[in-house]
Structure 1
Amino acid sequence: MSPSQSGQPVLSVRDLRVATMGRRPAEILKGLSFDIAPGETLCLVGESGSGKSVTSLVTMDLLPRGELQVTAGRAALNGEDIITATPARTKALRGAEMAMIFQEPMTALNPVLSIGLQMDEIYRAHTRMRGPERRAAAIAAFESVHLPDPPRIYDSYPHQLSGGQRQRVMIAMALALKPKLLIADEPTTALDVTTQKQILELIRNLQDEMNTAVLFITHDMGVVVDIADRVCVMRHGEVVETGTTEQVLSQPKAQYTRDLLAAVPALTPRAARVQPAPDHALELVDVNKVFEFRSFLSKMMRRPGHRVQAVRDVSFRLDRGRTLGIVGESGSGKSTVARCVLRLEDPSSGAILVNGHDIAPLEGQKAPAPARRAVQMIFQDPNRSLNPRLTTGDSLIEGALNAGEPRAEALARAAELLEVVGLPRDALSRYPHQFSGGQRQRIAIARALMMSPDVIVADEAVSALDVSVQAQVLDLLAEVQAKRNLAILFITHDLRVAAQICDDVMVMRRGEVVEFGTAGQVLADPQHDYTRALLDAAPGRDWDFAKGCRITEPA
């Protein structure tokens, strides 16, 4: 009898406890319990450190050996306890009965193997198909997730695909053998809103076809609205609340749940700020950027390469004390504009004026020191932008030392800036791994402020953060901006974030600006079809988190 006929859940977790190993073990999961029925989607939500991802690793039998161990409880897949199963048995279950979509496909996919070979491994491990049958099955799987030109995808390598395409490949791999349980760990966090919407619809449609149970892990409450049947809210390894999506979002019982929902930024733009007299910190005039890709053979034969115009005739002004948001899909040219402003890329033509001085004609490394100091960057992922071998203090003062500032003076300023961003002075001697994600991003902000810039470029600076931490970082940026009269160029794919922090919004598509105006004009009354499509694709658009109810369109 199948689970759906017997009423047996596909996944049943009971009193699950996980602890660190060592002299002083700490409990990570503290008696976790939940069920997922066939065809149902359960969303695990909560801040970083709540135990969401550890739960998925236990279920897949992927806990890091020697670091974490299950101390009690049960996790049963169709009645079979995964925890007590042999490694050979859980290996057989992975892929065939349960599968996982990871957050970052570039990390999960092997960069030196073609997509086809990686897909082929699944069929070779779990089926008796011959080579031509495996290829046909792989191409059919790629077609099922609506990948363009599946034979080309089969022969491609991960770096040759877009982010959305790589995530579709991961979904195709996960669903190749029609598992009864699909675990999705933040599968849409790094994707733009239109690709995100497509991926969520794809998971839901495939789930309906296969009656798959889905364990969906996310910190995005908008995604919860769009995909969840039930919600399980976690904090510090415990379940603080569980129920249907409507129950949890409209009538939250736990204060922690109410705090999470209150931190979700609204799509309604904030009230417009009084604009002082124009004081241009940054101005772009008809900036273009063309990339030329030439193979070794074309170089040898002196033939022209493949040209891609990433940015076309982009112009804008950014005044001190104001925030300009650049929004658009992946490949729209947002980050290329930022890299040109920072002189990490040389523009092909046009002018880039920093405090009135054009730095565009100069090669990036030859830009004068004042211009380079005047524009600083906050990167998306502080895990990668902060050197793990340097203390916080050494990371903060690196730029100042390169500019000739004495070490003692630089350290004193670094300590002051840590207090500005809400961290204690003794954080100077600690390393990045000793901080939470939100704290690391605060360090990244302090590092940008060390050079006393006029312009800060924030490239997806809060996209990987929990909603509560995200709100804190956005408040911090607004506070620092007000005190230092900073101009902020804010690049994001999250329209909710743009609505809360931006004074003006520029919408880009395929390297061109398609709409520009105040946040109120662009987000509340969009004029371009592409802008309207972006807003329509925003997750949870039809839910008012402040009021806890669905938004009803006026008659």
Structure 2
Amino acid sequence: MERFKTGRFDGVADVIAIENLHIGLQTMAGQTPVLDGVSLKIRKGETACLVGESGSGKSLTSLAVMGLLPSGVLKVTSGRIMLGETDLLTRSKRQMRALRGSRISMIFQEPMTALNPVIRVGNQILEVLRSHGLASGKEAKRRVLDIMDQVHLPDVERIYRSYPHQLSGGQRQRIMIAMALILEPTLLIADEPTTALDVTTQKQILALISELQRKHGTAVLFITHDMGVVSEIADTVHVMRHGQIVESAPAQVLFRQPRHEYTRALLKAVPSLHPRSPRPEVSAPAALKVAGLGKTYASGGFLKARSEKRAAEDVTFQLMPGRTLGIVGESGSGKTTVARCVMRLVEPTNGAIRLGSLDIAHLPQGRLRDQRAKIQIVFQDPYRSLNPRRKIGQSLIEGPTNFGVAPEKALARARELMEIVGLSADALDSYPHQFSGGQRQRIAIARAVAMEPDVIVADEAVSALDVSVQDQVLKLLDDLQQKLGIAILFITHDLRVAAQICDYVIVMQHGKVVEHGTAEAVLVAPKHPYTRSLIDAAPGRGWDFGACREIAWPAAVS
């Protein structure tokens, strides 16, 4: 590929140069180093990817460049951050505000938290121009509509007047890109901008950033834990661990010949897109059977025309004990709607949901409570699924004690489960905030298993985790399944994850199942055009990261 051409950036001026940067955490006991001698350069038109596990210092580096380190908590103790001839560390807060947006801009991971929910998106982009005093009136609106058109938003006049909640995730991220690039900065920092997006939307956003980069010659610092994305966009890769850069190399060199042990471990943890070997068929009765499941949402009413939206339509599948069925598709395809209907968190409009021998699709809540122990759910975000005011032990014994298990017995089982999920039993006396994201997700899994369910629904349970922690959680789920015979309904937009954990895969589009079969049949030899488009959009499809080599994907996919 052209971007990997040797010497492409020889003689090109540095846009940003971070030199021997040290940052300390201010504590009562003194100062603890959290960034230790970080140095990197990004040249005009170059995309540099900063990769590493959560807590490695990636986002901290970007916040230091933006001048957004929390005052009184984190402090730069030495080093320089040179933006051209300007040392950003010598600039005042007022001077940094002037530089942000005009010369350096940032795209954040979650646009719903970065955008103001009560202000129309057009006005939020306008605010960037107004804050820098660069345009007003009709000229300002013209520039906003122009940048919205450049990021390929449809019907820009309508979207200009829309609120964030009225847009899709991909459209909201395009608004963030428009805000970041409207003043044509020389450096764009993108902090995990595609992590929460499905593969096709992710591909569009990556292509958009690349297109705008070529058009404006912007230098890009791209922060991510997704090696597939890195393989698609990076010119240079910097690997971080414990606040240090342990390896830097051109992307092709790093993927083919990683030098550092930590880099090799990261690459090895990336799940392969080729499915694991199929397991034997199960002869026992199905743990879960869904037939003709549909969910229709109605809106309108008084003074407004009534309308209906079919979020799921005629969904049929069965899940065997000790096996995993994956549901994949884009955002809005109906995956989560099906999961929530199966859990009876929303009422299905029609169809049957047979848990064992009992149809729970339309059971009244009084009778449904008795079935809740048989089917449990693990949510995407463990921060929100665990009560921050309750100790871990309280969260783990709550379900069993509600179903009549003696507290002493429930607590003993909780201790066993903590050991099973790889955590100390002593952790039962701790609170959720005292654990990492991966540890919290292990706790959430332990809480679900504590009910001794027949079925676990995992709704994007590993999508927010970095690759090494994701690998650990997937292995944990597989191990628990083998030991306990639990059936798992696994909702994901990550085809690599689906390939490694699922025995069978359902592909959904617009609320309907368009393809269903073994993981190998669906992911290696897909029949439906939509499935092929999903696989074609998967980043890094041409790499076997663990083996450090490029691979030829089966022609049936192409």
TM tier, smaller: over 0.9
* Greater shift in the superposed pair: 544-553 or 230-239: 544-553
Pairs within 5 Å for 1:242-257: 242-257=248-263
What's the counterpart of residue 331 of structure 1?
332
* Greater shift in the superposed pair: 142-151 or 499-508: 142-151
Q: TM-score, normalised by structure 2?
A: 0.96
Q: Letter of the aligned partner of 1:393 in structure 2?
A: G
- What displacement does 1:281 show? 0.8
Distance 1:352 1:539, change over 3 A: same
What's the counterpart of residue 445 of structure 1?
445
What's the counterpart of residue 306 of structure 1?
307
What's the counterpart of residue 53 of structure 2?
47
Pairs within 5 Å for 1:364-379: 365-379=365-379
Q: Letter of the aligned partner of 2:66 in structure 1?
A: M
What's the counterpart of residue 15 of structure 1?
20
Runs of 4 or more above 3 Å deviation: 4-8, 552-555
Q: Letter of the aligned partner of 2:362 in structure 1?
A: P
- What displacement does 1:19 show? 1.2
- What displacement does 1:253 show? 0.4
Aligned partner of 2:164 among 149, 152, 158: 158
1:347 and 2:348 equivalent?
Answer: yes
Cα deviations by residue, 1:173-208 (Å, 9 ceiling, x for unpaired)? 111111000000000000000000000000001000
Pairs within 5 Å for 1:121-520: 121-294=127-300, 298-299=301-302, 301=303, 304-363=305-364, 365-520=365-520
Pairs aligned (count):
546
What's the counterpart of residue 527 of structure 1?
527
1:56 and 2:57 equivalent?
Answer: no
Query: Does structure 1 conserve the Cα–Cα contact (< 8 Å) formed by 2:227 and 2:540?
Result: yes
SS of aligned partner of 1:201: helix
Distance 1:20 1:554 in 2: 50
What's the counterpart of residue 90 of structure 1?
96
Distance 2:513 2:11 in 1: 56
Distance 1:405 1:5, change over 3 A: closer
SS of aligned partner of 1:280: coil
Cα deviations by residue, 1:250-289 (Å, 9 ceiling, x for unpaired)? 0000010011101111111100001120421111110110
Distance 1:419 1:227, change over 3 A: same
Q: Letter of the aligned partner of 2:439 in structure 1?
A: Q
Distance 2:251 2:185 in 1: 24
Distance 1:367 1:200 in 2: 49
- Any gaps of 5 or more consecutive residues in structure 1? none
SS of aligned partner of 2:100: helix
Q: TM-score, normalised by structure 1?
A: 0.96
SS of aligned partner of 1:399: helix
Distance 1:458 1:367 in 2: 24
Distance 1:292 1:328 in 2: 23
Distance 1:367 1:66 in 2: 55
Q: Letter of the aligned partner of 1:103 in structure 2?
A: Q
- What displacement does 1:304 show? 4.8
Cα deviations by residue, 1:298-357 (Å, 9 ceiling, x for unpaired)? 33x4x6522110000000000100000000000000000000011110000011111121
What's the counterpart of residue 65 of structure 1?
71
Q: Letter of the aligned partner of 1:438 in structure 2?
A: G
Distance 2:22 2:222 in 1: 20
Distance 1:391 1:84 in 2: 44
Distance 1:419 1:220 in 2: 29
Distance 1:58 1:535 in 2: 37
- What displacement does 1:76 show? 1.3
SS of aligned partner of 1:368: helix
Cα deviations by residue, 1:66-91 (Å, 9 ceiling, x for unpaired)? 22111111111112111111000000
- What displacement does 1:6 show? 8.0
Distance 2:397 2:505 in 1: 33
- Any gaps of 5 or more consecutive residues in structure 2? 1-8
Q: Letter of the aligned partner of 2:337 in structure 1?
A: T
Q: Letter of the aligned partner of 2:357 in structure 1?
A: G
Distance 1:553 1:23 in 2: 55
* Percent identity for Structure 1 against Structure 2: 58
SS of aligned partner of 2:173: helix
Query: Does structure 1 conserve the Cα–Cα contact (< 8 Å) formed by 2:269 and 2:546?
Result: no
SS of aligned partner of 1:170: helix
